[in-house]
Amino acid sequence: MNTATTCPARPIAFDETRGMLLGLAGVAIFSLTIPFTRMAVAELNPVFVALGRALGAAVLAGAWLAWKRVPAPPRAAWWPLALVVAGCIVGFPLLTSLALRTLPASHGALLVGVLPLATALYAALRGYERPSQGFWVMALSGAGLVIAFALAQGGGSLHLADLLVLAAVPLAAMGYAEGGRLARSMGGPEVICWALLLSVPVLLPLVAWLCAPQLAQLGQVGFHAWTAFGYVTFGSTFTGFFFWYRGLALGGVARVGQVQLLQPFLSLIGAAVLLGEALTLVNCLFALAVVGVVFAARRMQVRH
């Protein structure tokens, strides 16, 4: 009797642990998105950075789908894929690229710290998952830490660039939750690759129309800006989602999404190394506090 009741729990626990590790790998890749975007938009048009990186990733996605001979997604998957496009491929990259023209990478990264809470909230409102009260307490505590830190760094007020980043957060949350749920049936790589291909008919004419006047100036862009653009294309828009969506599918959107609370502080380290922005003791203390919240949230019940 005991054996029969405990055996089914083992693969579930294994999937949750594996999902957390895959989610952490995705977060590590995503954590450099803000610093590299800040580096790219210093010389490149922010619209070109946001939409051009998706077009570049779409080429990789098409090659991967052809290599794996992946069949077309079912009709029911097209609407969730469209939401992934709107949130993760167009909305979040575009708004953050515009904001990072004037916003320091460290400050933008901290504002993105509310994304795990937004992802869990979206999943709950859509009826995908039902987190426990303890989980919500931990999620709110982590988001509260991040918001308090962001306000302290911003002198207690938010500016237009701050509002652009905060507007990008619910869009990314929508794309994460919809893509994570869809990945359970389609697979993580398939979700992001089909979403990227779906975005091409929209992005290609937009890039041609909005960025054509600046194309002649691309030859004057420096090596660092192109390197940064390459990272947000290959890492942030393509490879990172392979890990992220698979992790969400295995461990659950709300639970694995809390790993992203670590992203602002990994981004702070990236901003310090890549851009020379200050990394203070206060930053490290807040990072330790958020790690504790993530660990506590990991142990709270979430019903699928």
For 171-191, write each residue's pLDDT tens digit.
999 998 898 889 888 888 899
The pair of three-digit structure tokens given for residue 68, joined into one six-digit string: 């794996």
pLDDT of residue 162: 81
CA neighbor of 138 nearest in space, from 290, 286, 304, 284: 290
Cα gap 224→295, rounded to integer Å: 36
Collapse the DSSP code of 44 into the 3-class scheme (helix H, G, I; strand E, B; otherwise coil) and give the result.
coil
Band (pLDDT 50/70/90 cuts) for residue 264 is confident
Please report which helix (H) or strand (E) contains residue 302, including its range.
strand 302-303
Please report which helix (H) or strand (E) contains residue 131, including its range.
strand 130-131
Asked if residue 4 belongs to a domain, the reply is no
Task: Flag whether pLDDT at 63 surpasses 90.
Answer: yes
pLDDT of residue 213: 66
Asked if residue 9 belongs to a domain, the reply is no
pLDDT of residue 262: 81
pLDDT of residue 7: 45
Contact status, residue 100 vs residue 159, Cβ threshold 8 Å: no
Asked if residue 25 belongs to a domain, the reply is yes
Cα gap 82→220, rounded to integer Å: 35
Asked if residue 124 belongs to a domain, the reply is yes
User: Averaged over 159-176, what is the pLDDT?
Assistant: 88
Cα gap 162→50, rounded to integer Å: 17
The pair of three-digit structure tokens given for residue 248, joined into one six-digit string: 């969400």
Neighbours of 282 (CB within 10 A): 11
Asked if residue 6 belongs to a domain, the reply is no
Asked if residue 267 belongs to a domain, the reply is yes
Collapse the DSSP code of 130 into the 3-class scheme (helix H, G, I; strand E, B; otherwise coil) and give the result.
strand
Contact status, residue 245 vs residue 180, Cβ threshold 8 Å: yes
Residues across the chain: 304
Contact status, residue 207 vs residue 99, Cβ threshold 8 Å: no
Minimum mean pLDDT range among 83-87, 149-153, 168-172: 149-153
CA neighbor of 112 nearest in space, from 226, 300, 8, 267: 267
Q: pTM value?
A: 0.82
What pLDDT digit, counting tens, does each position of 267-277 carry?
889 999 999 88
Give the domain extent around 20. 15-210+219-303
Collapse the DSSP code of 30 into the 3-class scheme (helix H, G, I; strand E, B; otherwise coil) and give the result.
helix
pLDDT of residue 14: 67
pLDDT of residue 292: 77
Asked if residue 10 belongs to a domain, the reply is no
Asked if residue 1 belongs to a domain, the reply is no
What pLDDT digit, counting tens, does each position of 32-45 carry?
999 999 999 998 88
Q: Which of 6-10, 174-178, 297-301 ranks highest by mean pLDDT?
A: 174-178
Tally the domains of the chain.
1
Task: Flag whether pLDDT at 218 surpasses 80.
Answer: no
Which residues face 131 on adjacent strands? 302
